[in-house]
Structure formats: structure tokens, C-alpha cells
Chain A
Amino acid sequence: MRAKVLRLAAAIIAVTITSPFTSPPSAMAQAQPPVTLKVAIVQQIDSLNPFIAVFQSSTEVGRLMYDYLTAYAQADQKVVEGVAKTWEPSPGKLTWTFTVPDGKKWSDGKPLTARDVAFTYNLMLTNEVARTANGSFVANFESVTATDDRTVVVKTKAPQITMTALDVPIVPQHVWESVTDIKNYANDQVPVVGSGPFVLTEYKAGEYIKLKANRSYWRGAAKYDELHFVYFKNADAAVQALAKGEVDLVNRMAPAQFDSLADKENVTRNKAQGRRFNELLINPGAQTRTGTPIGDGNPALRDVRVRRAIARAIDLDALVKRVNAGYAEVGTGIIPPVFPKYHWEPSAAERRTFDAAAAKAELDAAGYPPKDGVRLSLRLLGRAGRAYDEQASEYLKQSLADIGIKIDVQLVSDDQLNQTTTAATYDLAFSGWGTNVDPDFILGLHTCGQRPGADGTGGTTDSYFCDAEYDRLYAQQLSEFDEAKRVEIVKAMQARFYDQVPSVVLCYENALEAYRSDRFSRFPVQPQTGGVIMAQNGVWGYYGAEPAAQSASSGSGRSWLGIAAGGVVVLVAAGGWFVARRRRATAEERE
């Protein structure tokens, strides 16, 4: 019996160890394994179909597969060539002519022309489902026509400032014209024909996505062969995987995770300026578009003096230091400093410095004297499980108690928080947004028109802010094509927002990333200083990554096979031990 077990073990070990060397010669003859960049993503992919994919991870993969009409430069995020090389608005700004240069090709070799552009936009104009993800960009379009292979003319109903910021993937007409049911088109017929720097070659739902460098990309092929995105539901595991060398690039790290990699060999960290801001919403007396009150916000908060007092009672510097562990910048305007052109900082006179005494005086003036030490009782909503909300809520609770405002902290699920803020059943709530290169989207969120309709649905407002002056400025910037003048208006809007405090911008969190410097020596960041590698307004980080000189294939190659063999040995040994022990035990019992 024992001998049999041993023989079996020997056979298994022999097969396992020798198998790599007994594989067919063709496999062994492969000279160099492909150089692969493995990226950990902590968000799943909802769809590969660019018309319906809404998750940030999917949009990022979509950008790698399909160029947009225009792109944002790596160094300074200025608008540069995408599918179109040049663009020209008519004097009234209602007609835009885009020129697609000769020579651009789809990954299957067919020419990329203005007709593809017109096809994409027209598909969105005529098909409701095709508007699922990016419909807002074409909502103001009157017509789109390709006058020839090189020229596409877009007519808009009203002047549209975002005409060079249309974040819509342009798809190949020769593939998509035969798609009859966009909703159910998975777009996973590999290799997926695209125009971007990478071509999708394999997708396993919930596991990974593989892309290959597009050798015919018009900017030139990437400097390595393959780009793999592997999905991690568990962010801690992703950080572990980077430390072990299982993946090459990780982002969206929490400060503690980022710090844990500080002394890791061959790991380079990148602390970048983020595109997001965290804010504290203050329900300013929510109303629907039609002017009917909605929700149950505390009426005291309709008084701007109360809102200012709350803002003044929060020490933002201390908050960043304690809650963000220093990995954030103190908040001011709603456009983060990573977009320096539009970012606004209050002047010394405008700035609300932390001052509890002044806050109390303001509450006195507003008619809220303390009764038994309490002036007001407010609810504060945050996301359960999100470290920032959990810690900041405790901090705010204390700060506001100091000026006589009693806070009832309620931590709820992400979905519930969204639902509650949409229904305006909050007094104070944590929120936050990512911003784009063009400020239109984030500015628009705070206009009166973004509030829900009479039935309480259809709203995308962030703060239930509705201010005539702000809306007037918003309309003005929307048709101001002189950039310097637009910048001024955009800053004036942020000043107005800051003054009226429908929310307090608490901080701009840093984007914390890290990569394996033994595998990749450099990643282009956007913007040039303090920029990010992943989640860019573009694909420069992935596209321009430079493999390290002696870079081997990712992972430990065959070592896992050795490990597996080890595992088998252990298993067999354990089995043998068990059998032997059993026999001995029985023998003893017999005696």
C-alpha cells in the first residue's frame, strides 16, 4: 500500500516537473514572450459597447479602443488632434466643420473617414439606445453631415462651447451599420475593430480584458505588446498584488495603502492631483424645476447666513491633515486645481477662514441663539464603508457642536445616499464629483434646470442650488468662445457658489497610484506636473508607458509550475503520512 502511494507520488512529480520541457517544440521556439503591462482595476466592466457603457473603467478601456473626435494634450490638457485634425466654427458658432486627415485607418486596415464620424453621431441622434452613455453631448445637435471623406459638418441648435470636448468614441461605420439591436450588441467579436492605440483581443467577464498594441495607430504603435486589465474586487489585494509583482500598475489607493508601499523595492509611487472634489452639501431649501418644495431639509438652512456659519465652523486644513492624512488639497472652488485655468481661489477678502466665534455671531444674527447650548439639530448623511465619510463625519460633528449645532450622523449605502440627496431628504450630506477638462458639466450641475421635474424624477442637480445670478453667468459662459473671457465668467460662477454655500468644497483628494519600476521605467502623466497615469482625460499613461530595459514577462513565469509541483508533493506526502498512520494505528489496536 505504502509503496503504491510512493510510486504514484513519484509519477505525479515527474510529470509535473518535466511537463514544461516536454511541451511541443513550436511553443519552446517562441523567441521573446510579449512585453505586457498588467493593470489592476477595482471597478468591473459593465459593457464593451461604447454606446451603453457608463462605468469609469469601461470608458477608460473604450478610450483605448476608439479615438474621440478631439483629444486633450498630455502636458497641458489643451485640445489637440483626435480623429479630426482641424476644426472651424462658423461666425455665429452654429456650424462646426471638422477635417479628418488622409491616412488614418481602422485596425482592420480600412480607412477612417469623416463618414464614420457622421455615422456615429447620426446613430446617436436617431437611436435612443445609442444615446444611453453619451447622449448629452449630442442633445443640442441639429444635424451632422459628411460632405466628403475628409469633412464633417455639425450644425447645432444653439452655440455649444463643448464642441471640441465631445467625449464620444467614434465607431467604424462598416462594422456598426449592420448592428440592428444596439442594446444587445456586446461588441466582443475579437479583435474588435477600433482606431485607438490598442485593440481588444479577449474579454472574460468579471476577470480580465486583454488588448494588443494597434500596430497601425496613427500616432505610432505603443512601445510594448499587450495591455491587460485584471479585475480586483478587493483593493487591498490589488495593493498586495503590486507588491508581489503580479500586476504592474494600481490606482485609487487609500492613504494607508499608499503609505504601505513606501519602502517597497521596485515600486514607484505617484501622488497626483485628483480630478475629484469632496463636498458637504447643505440643503438650501430644495425645490423642483416647477418651484414646488421637495424633501424635508431643515428650513433654517434656507438662510444663507446659517450656511455660511456652518462653512466657517469647519477647519478645512485640519480636516485634510487628519482625515486625508495630508493626501489632499484644501477645497475652495468647484473646479479642482488640476485644471489651473478654470480653478478659482477666493481673494483674501472673499475667503472664509475658520472662525468659530464669527460663526456663532452669524448664527445669533440669523436668529438662532443657543437653547440649552443647542441652536440647531441637523442630520448628516454619509456613505457607510467609505473611510472619508466615516472619519470626516465625526470631525464635523465635533466642529459643529462647538458652535451649538447638534449633528446626527447617519451612514448609509452608496445607493441610498444618492437616492436621499436626489429626494432632498437631507440637511447635510457628503458628496463628490469628478470633473472634466471642460468645466461645462460640473458647472451645469448647479443650475436651476438640473433640478427634478414635478414628479421628483429626471433631476441631476448636485446641491439643489438655484440662483438667478449663477444661471445668468452659466448661460453667458456657454456661448463665450473667447477663452480668456470665459475663464473670467467661470471663476465668477465659482465665487458666487462659494458665497451662497449650497455646499462646502472640503478638499480635492490626491489620486494615489503606484507602479513596478523594475518592469516599466516611465509613464507619461497628465498634466505634466502632478498628473495621473490612470484615469486621465486621454490614454497617454498607457500608450506612452516605457518598458524597463531588462523587463521580463509579467509574473514569475514558470515559477508557479514549481509551486504547483510543490503543492502536489505536499498533498501526496500528507496522504502517505495519513495512510501510514492509519495502518500503524490499526496495528497497535490489534495488539
Chain B
Amino acid sequence: MADRTPSPEKAAGGKPHIKWGDAYSKGRTAVESLSTILRYFPPRLSSSETPAMDLLQDPDIATQISALLRRPDSGAVNDNLCAWLYDTFHSSEPQLQLVVLRFLPIIAGVYLTRAALNKPLPGFESVLLAIYAHETAARNGQAVTVSIPDLSHASIYHESKMPTKNASTELHLAVITASLEPHGTVRSTRRAKIVGVALELYYSKISQFPVGSKLDFCDFCKIWSGQNSHDNHEKSTEARRGRINLAWELLQPIMRILGHCLFRPEKSDELFQAAFVACRCLNSRAQHDTNAKAMLATGSLVKLAEMAKNPASNVDYTEIAMSNEISV
């Protein structure tokens, strides 16, 4: 919404823009400070009336930020870009926070593969902790739970609308994410949890990110799995590099994000293929780890994707019966 910010010129023309001015000026500040970090800065952004929206969508910006984040020395203590991401997230401007989250796949991707090598990465950690702290505050530290329906309880979708009498069975309460405690630093045993919670936040906003961000994510899933997408399974050292320990705290949001990439309402063949490859790699990894839950979840995504690829499954039931007799 911040993007409906009127330009200063219009504002000078009489219409006050106090309500949106804050979002606009925060957006401008973010644009200006980013322009000092990037080598090439598209001029159209400097004069943009919707700076936050453009930062989120601009492909040139994305390419440059991605390249910087992937540099071998990125994420260090003096990384300007990490500082920018940190400050931008702290602007508390939802639209600007989306810009930071848009790059979470690369931040988490590069961070987790390097952290396994015991490299100090305070730049990345500051951004991840900022996101984690934001989510901890938003949830008030509480666990996220789901109560699993039990069909012996009447529900809105039951055919008979009479409340059943034997509703004595308890609903299963499933804890999706355990309660969150504040963290000032990334302790190594909490790393998966902190990144996992950041990915959960990413998932909750996922419909707002450009496809490029999700493609980055699918790529890193493949790298994290340490598996090859091909069936020949000749594991190259290339595939092994970047393999990480996949705790459930990470796997769970990863699989939800991949589910979205495969079956979201807006179709993109490129994203579908990338997510399909990622799911197959993670399924192969789950088999290696003989991790039953992960095998079930990734296995079902792979099977569903294969079904979706089969044209026979895409019958249009809303088409009328075609007949040679056209009658009343």
C-alpha cells in the first residue's frame, strides 16, 4: 500500500500526503543508500514514485544484490549490503521488509552452506536475527499450532448440519513451530531454528514475491540436499558441496515453500520445473536419511507433480458435452 505514495510534486500541488509520506520517505532513503552500494543503479529507481515496490520487483536490482550476496567474502562483519538489509528490515515498513525477505533464499542459502564450514558470518546473522526477532515479537513467542480435524466432530462442511452427540474425542493438537525464545546471537545449535522461523515468515508472504526469488530458493534446496537431480545418482563432489544437515525445523518450511512453487494458482512452467527438481533431490536425501516424515512429504509432492505433468489428469469438467444435436 505504501506504493500509492503520491510524488512530492503532487504533494506540493496541494494534496497533503502525511499519511503515506512516512512510507514514501523511508522508501526513498532505502533507495538512496542502496545506490551507494551497487555498482550500477537503474536511474528509473532514483525517480520512482513507488520506491519500495520497485525495489521488490526490479530485475536489475535483484541481479546485482544476488551477485553481491553470493560473493565469496559476503556476510562478513563489514558487509555494506548486509547492513543495508538489516537497516531496511528495521524500517518497520511492511513493503520494505518484503524487499529484504525477497532475498532470504539467497541469504539463508549462502549462510547455511558456509556456516557448516565454521565460517564467522556476522553480516548474514544480523539480518537473520532481525527477521527472527520480528517474528518472535509478532507471535509473542507463542507456538504455532494446528488442531487436526476429526470427522466425528460436526463441521461446517459436514453434510448433516446436526451437531453430533459423540463429540467426546479430543482433537489432535499439532505443534507446527514450538514457542520462540529471543536470541541475541546465533548459537550453533539454534541455527536451524532461527533460519527455519525466517523461512516461515517468507512462506507467509510468499504470494507477494517475484518468481526469481522462488527460483533462487529451489536452487538452494537442491544444493542443500547434496543430491543429484538425475537418476544416475553418480554423486559428484559438486553435489556434495553445500550439503547441509536438514533438521525438521528447516525441512518443514522448505517443503511448504516448495509445495507453493509447484501448485500455486499462478502458473509458471520454469518455477514448476525448478521446484520439481528440488523436491526430487530432497526426496532422495530423505531416503538417504531414512527420514520417514520427510519421505512422506517430499514423496507426495513428487507424485503430485508427476500427476500434474500428465495431460490425462487435466480434464476440464466445466466444459459442456459437445453433441451434434443442438437442442433447447
Does A associate with B in a complex?
Answer: no
